[in-house]
Structure 1
Amino acid sequence: MGGVPVRGRAVGELLRRWRQERRLSQLELSARCDVSTRHLSCIETGRARPSSEMVLRLGEHLQIPLRERNEALLAAGHAPVYPERALEAAALAHVAAALRLVLDRHEPYPAVVLNRWWEVVDANAAVPALLDGVAPDLLEPPLNVLRLTLHSRGLAPRLLNLPRWRAHLLLQLDRRIAATGDDRLRSLRSEVRAYPAPAGEGPEPSEPSEHDTVLPMVLRVGESTVSMFSIAAALSTAGDVTLDELTVESFYPSDDASAGVLARLLPGATAAGTRR
């Protein structure tokens, strides 16, 4: 189905589309939510208006993102229950401090905090050294990692395994669109898919090398080459829309040579790779 468009739809239609996206029958969902199949059918067809508690229960079992749960509540005539605050807000100060600690402690390796649209919310001091030569307009906020990586004036010319890394990013984008139904992500997909495809890219991602234990991002940095893999982490118990949409992506060197290069690139590092 390619995601669930949510705006401008009746709540029953929204919930039905989410159920279909999650590949659940009415019988399966009703059993999980402890509600009769008949009542669920009435909700989906508009013959019954769900309570806010029912919308939230269905949203939980359908794994609907918090932003879209709020929209479903509005569609059902109820007030949203999940706040959306800036990360700088006092209520989020402890989480923001924890994220900053994660970024700082990850140096000399790069790490970023991204929002739903792959925009950089925060980054550690190891990131800027990898961006040398990127067109200034691509670095203007909000800095979008997909544009930055795949654009011909971004990192793409220095990505030594661009076809495979591009296929990986586009697959992640498709999965997030399916998970969220977000129109901004659809627009982003149309944009980045229109960038010139690298030579050697076929309709399917190329086969991994027998030497790869994980898919690396192989980047030329000056006269050196850095090979990195990433680990993404998210808050598992977020009750705020902003926090629900954040991801911390931490990059690790794939080999000792890359570890040495990253250590030397960190601002203030000595020749041995440690900070002054």
Structure 2
Amino acid sequence: MDVSFGNLLKEWRQIRRMSQLDLASAAGVSARHVSFLETGRSYPSRGMALRLSDVLQMPLAESNRLLTSGGLAPAFGQRKAADEELAPLAMAMQWTLDHHAPYPAMALDRHWRLVALNTPASMFLAPMGVQVGDSLIEALLENESIRAAIENLSEVEYQLLSRLRVELAHLGKDQVLGGLIDRLADRVTGYVPPAQSPVVMATRYTFNGVTLSLFSTISQFGGVGEIAYADIKIEQLFPADEASRQLLLAMAGPEI
């Protein structure tokens, strides 16, 4: 369904909880001009549309949608993975994953689907039936092997729910993430977090009486005007204690 520039602008202004005056002040224009854009009495220039989308922190795909709704050409690319122009990004992603060994690392899209894994991550996830293309959130919700292996499952689900809510607030709207949040919220009903959060919130996996304790960091591409990579995040797992470090080294073998 086609959406007018004015309606889309108003929708995103409301998503960001901004008044017309708030948006106008941040964009350096009059509230009257914003009002005219929303009602269709004025038409946006390309520069104005991009400025407004920047102020509203719209994801790249939504910025393109705002532009095209105003009869303007999209600003951000949406190339196929095999496109040569994407090669430096693909190489950077794979280099980051590979050089994190012997610790697990993975690339995820905005819906937490696995895009790529390094060898330690594949060795860790494959026995539980998780591979590239699968959703980590779906796996956590439905894969009984994973759920049974996580010693502090309620804590992990609670922390993940908080993280997804932050991501959804940034994206503004996303039906898939919204659905996952609803399902996770049902799982953590009744969970009471500790009065003081630990310095490191680690996920504790127990296999055959052995516990592997891992925490993670998240990194994303900066300054990328390409929709395919704008939402890619790289999660790098680290051992939370010496026993876990030694176990990861043993799993990796002498070649790492």
Please point out which of 143, 148, 164 is paired with 1:157. 148
Please point out which of 164, 170, 187 is paired with 2:161. 170
Aligned to 1:214: 200
Matched, 1:24 2:24: no
- Return the offset for 1:133: 4.5
Aligned to 1:238: 224
So what's the TM-score if we normalise by structure 1?
0.83
Aligned length: 255
Please point out which of 46, 61, 75 is paired with 1:81. 75
Instruction: Identify the range of structure 1 (111-120 vs 40-49) with the bigger mean alpha-carbon deviation.
Output: 40-49
Aligned to 2:48: 54
**Partner SS state of residue 70, structure 1:** helix
More helix by share: 2
Aligned to 2:255: 275
Aligned to 1:37: 31
Given the superposition, is the C-alpha separation of residues 132 and 83 from structure 1 closer, same or farther in structure 2, using an over 3 Å criterion? closer
Instruction: Identify the range of structure 1 (146-155 vs 159-168) with the bigger mean alpha-carbon deviation.
Output: 146-155
Task: Report % sequence identity.
Answer: 30
Matched, 1:265 2:251: yes
Are the counterparts in 1 of residues 116 and 132 from structure 2 also a CA contact under 8 Å?
Answer: no
Aligned residue identity for 1:233: S
Unaligned runs of 5+ in 1: 1-6
- CA root-mean-square deviation: 2.2
- Return the offset for 1:78: 2.0
Matched, 1:126 2:112: no
Partner Cα separation in structure 2 for residue 110 and residue 154 of structure 1 = 19
Are the counterparts in 1 of residues 157 and 184 from structure 2 also a CA contact under 8 Å?
Answer: no
Matching of residues 3-18 of structure 1 within 5 Å: 8-18=2-12
**Partner SS state of residue 118, structure 1:** coil
- Return the offset for 1:204: 5.3
Could you give the per-residue CA deviations for residues 218-238 of structure 1, whole angstroms, max 9, x where no partner exists? 112343211111110111201
Matched, 1:108 2:102: yes
- Return the offset for 1:97: 0.8
Aligned to 1:148: 139
So what's the TM-score if we normalise by structure 2?
0.89
Aligned to 1:3: none
**Partner SS state of residue 120, structure 2:** coil
- Return the offset for 1:203: 4.1
Aligned to 1:256: 242
Could you give the per-residue CA deviations for residues 68-104 of structure 1, whole angstroms, max 9, x where no partner exists? 1111112222222211123332101111111111111
Partner Cα separation in structure 1 for residue 12 and residue 182 of structure 2 = 23
Given the superposition, is the C-alpha separation of residues 251 and 170 from structure 1 closer, same or farther in structure 2, using an over 3 Å criterion? same
Aligned residue identity for 2:100: H
- Return the offset for 1:239: 0.4
**Partner SS state of residue 226, structure 1:** strand
**Partner SS state of residue 49, structure 2:** helix
Given the superposition, is the C-alpha separation of residues 205 and 125 from structure 1 closer, same or farther in structure 2, using an over 3 Å criterion? farther
Are the counterparts in 2 of residues 147 and 154 from structure 1 also a CA contact under 8 Å?
Answer: no
Given the superposition, is the C-alpha separation of residues 204 and 236 from structure 1 closer, same or farther in structure 2, using an over 3 Å criterion? farther
Partner Cα separation in structure 1 for residue 208 and residue 223 of structure 2 = 41
Partner Cα separation in structure 2 for residue 249 and residue 60 of structure 1 = 26
Instruction: Identify the range of structure 1 (165-174 vs 253-262) with the bigger mean alpha-carbon deviation.
Output: 165-174
Matched, 1:185 2:172: no
- Return the offset for 1:205: 5.1
Could you give the per-residue CA deviations for residues 160-186 of structure 1, whole angstroms, max 9, x where no partner exists? 111111112222222323322122323
Partner Cα separation in structure 2 for residue 208 and residue 37 of structure 1 = 45
**Partner SS state of residue 127, structure 1:** helix
